[in-house]
Structure 1
Amino acid sequence: MQTIMTPTTEENSWRPVAEAVSWIVGWTYFALWTLSFYPQLLQNHTRRSTLGVATSYFPLNILGFLCYTLYTSLLLYSPVIRTEYAARYPNAPNPTVRFNDLAFALHAFILASVTYSQFFPSIWGYEAGRRRERTIPFVWGVIIGIISTIAIITAVAVGNEAEPHVPDRQTDGDFFSLDQINYLDITTAFSLSKLLVTLIKYLPQIYTNYLNKSTEGFSIYQILMDFFGGLLSLVQLGIDAGLEGSWEGVTGNLVKTGLGLISMGLNIVFMTQHYLIYRGQKQDRNDDDYDDEDRDGEDEDREEAREVRRDERTPLVGHLEGRYRDARDLDGDISE
């Protein structure tokens, strides 16, 4: 006779407390991560400049949070994907994704897009970044690669769902088989893409800080809030896994686990640069990474351009306000 396990009195007493703590922790890290997007946006606006900020960070960030938005929304609201999730993780059939994850992802996507627009003087009229801060070709290659991979996985999954898989003893035991890819694997592709973006997106900024010998321009408040938000996200994930009674809640939400760990590790690198290595140092405003031939032909134009008052630029925003003037990129460098 099969014994049916029923919750004990002790379990019933701590479960509501754990659920309440999970809710509080979840919305706290949501608030920290959400607010972390404002310091850089406001700092660029106050300085009317994006000098010191690596442009490569933002196209990656936009793609990453678009993937995260799709990942969380599908796991939350797609009955088909939730059914496939329950079948793949029978010990923890309910995804540990929460509504605050989706709210954060969508808000982050919007804020990252607005901040990226600040790198275009024709829109806002801010002082543009230098060559060392441009979006590097490698970043565009990563973006194209991610989009192409997701498109291929989606096409394979749609094909497999249209023609249900017939079990084959010779292939079903394989570690990987294309005919086993389903809609749930599309969400996995979105989550792994977000992880890859998170791993890469901070590296150009770390290198830019190294070239500038300073962290001036990149907001440390963004890093601090990102760090503590990542820590609390891991705390919530652990609580939710305990409530489910299985660590499959962690393995089934690999993106949340990876996001917390990777973000915290790279945040520590930034904090080390800001508070120890380059503490109090102003950035080197010369383009030392230019070749001599480039510098000889551009120094005079750049110096002349920098003498132009910032309020004499012609941002699109100024045009909309009725203050039309000819737009001009002071350094000749805008995001490509």
Structure 2
Amino acid sequence: MATEFNSFPLEIVYEIFGWIAFFSWSISFYPQVFLNFHRKSVVGLNFDFVVLNLTKHSTYLIYNATLYFSSAVQTQYRDKYGHDEMIPVAANDVAFSMHAVILTAFTLFQIFIYERGNQKISKISLTIVVVAWCAAAFCVFIALPTQSWLWLISVFNTIQVTMTVIKYIPQAFMNFFRKSTEGFSIGNILLDFSGGVANYAQMATQSIDQGSWVNFYGNVGKALLSLVSIFFDLLFMVQHYVLYRSKPVHHPSKVKVDEANKEALLVTSDSDLP
């Protein structure tokens, strides 16, 4: 039988924080999607960030959905951490993961149909993704004989934590070398920051109600997800609002169009002379 909250008000607060995190994180994908659509360009958005992010959210979905829906995994969780402990995954976690996989995949699709400039997906990020999924597949075969499902989903959780740590790095360096955040939506970052804070507050609320911090180390992936996201979101805010404020990058294609327009105006002006 599932463990319940001791305090009804704290349960309400827990649900509120959870759905704030869900809506903030879910909506955070749309500013970048709309920016790409409006510009018909993905120049400025790091492709490695998107590829790594897709693997991150896919493995996180596997972890969340399995722990939330599987009674066998829940039993193994309580056998390890205590039968009075609540399952550290909520409905909003599963809903967010499903939505995140769909929107990240759509962003990747935009990369293939819009102007890319000279940007491309690096071999390093592709290698990381292939190694991650091969390792996950290998662990599946290890877990099958003993039915160590909790250990198996913890592997997927470890992969998502690793991807969370490294996925922001390419975008941060790209902004640094370009000295600009043009093409990378700050709206995404602001909403992501709000989601990270709300997610961490939700975990803290559960721990306060249960009088136990097992919620954090029993689902270290969710805790690290919030902390790492908050750290990089703050970094991107500094880059956008302080370091590279009002420093747009002029793309070669745009420069050529501007020069062509100027030349056309000069020709028109000359033709009007007596």
Same topology, TM > 0.5 = yes
Report the equivalent of 2:116: 128
Question: Of 60, 64, 68, which aligns to 1:76?
Answer: 68
1:144-163 matches, cutoff 5 A: 144-161=130-147
Report the equivalent of 2:57: 65
Letter in structure 2 aligned against 1:277: L
List runs of 5+ in structure 1 lacking aligned partners: 1-10, 162-181, 287-301, 308-336
Report the equivalent of 1:218: 184
Report the equivalent of 2:31: 39
Report the equivalent of 2:267: none
CA deviation after TM superposition for structure 1 residue 94, in Å: 2.4
Letter in structure 1 aligned against 2:115: E
Q: Residues of 2 paired with 1:145 and 1:242: CA distance? A: 39
CA deviation after TM superposition for structure 1 residue 58, in Å: 1.1
Question: Of 236, 253, 272, which aligns to 2:238?
Answer: 272
How many residue pairs match? The answer is 253
Q: Residues of 1 paired with 2:22 and 2:110: CA distance? A: 24
SS at match of 1:146: helix
Superposition CA RMSD, Å: 1.8
Deviations 1:259-308 (A, max 9, x none): 0000000111111110111011012536xxxxxxxxxxxxxxx89xx76x
Letter in structure 1 aligned against 2:191: M
Deviations 1:204-234 (A, max 9, x none): 1111112211000000010011011101100
Q: Residues of 2 paired with 1:129 and 1:236: CA distance? A: 41
Q: CA, structure 1 residues 94+75, in 2 after alignment: closer, same or farther (shift >3 Å)? A: same
List runs of 5+ in structure 2 lacking aligned partners: 258-274
Q: Residues of 2 paired with 1:193 and 1:244: CA distance? A: 28
Q: Residues of 2 paired with 1:61 and 1:142: CA distance? A: 12
1:192-211 matches, cutoff 5 A: 192-211=158-177
Check if 1:228 corresponds to 2:194. yes
Q: Which TM-score applies when normalising by structure 2?
A: 0.88
Q: Residues of 2 paired with 1:203 and 1:186: CA distance? A: 27
SS at match of 2:111: coil
Deviations 1:138-192 (A, max 9, x none): 101111111111112111111223xxxxxxxxxxxxxxxxxxxx11011111111
Report the equivalent of 2:266: none
Question: Of 243, 249, 252, which aligns to 2:209?
Answer: 243
**Rg larger in structure:** 1
Q: Residues of 2 paired with 1:53 and 1:129: CA distance? A: 11
Greater shift in the superposed pair: 91-100 or 50-59: 91-100
1:234-313 matches, cutoff 5 A: 234-285=200-251
Q: Residues of 1 paired with 2:133 and 2:210: CA distance? A: 34
Report the equivalent of 2:270: none
Q: Residues of 2 paired with 1:254 and 1:285: CA distance? A: 42
Letter in structure 2 aligned against 1:41: V
Report the equivalent of 1:119: 111
Q: Which TM-score applies when normalising by structure 1?
A: 0.72
Report the equivalent of 1:51: 43
Equivalent pairs: percent with the same residue? 33
CA deviation after TM superposition for structure 1 residue 60, in Å: 1.0
Deviations 1:28-72 (A, max 9, x none): 111100000000000000111111111111111111111111101
Check if 1:187 corresponds to 2:156. no
Letter in structure 2 aligned against 1:119: I
Report the equivalent of 2:123: 137
Q: Residues of 2 paired with 1:64 and 1:18: CA distance? A: 30
* Structure with more helix by fraction: 2
Deviations 1:113-138 (A, max 9, x none): 011111113xxxx21242xx321111
After superposing on structure 2, the runs of 4+ consecutive aligned residues of structure 1 that deviate more than 4 Å are: none
Q: Residues of 2 paired with 1:241 and 1:76: CA distance? A: 18
Q: Residues of 2 paired with 1:92 and 1:220: CA distance? A: 42
Letter in structure 2 aligned against 1:283: V
Q: CA, structure 1 residues 73+66, in 2 after alignment: closer, same or farther (shift >3 Å)? A: same
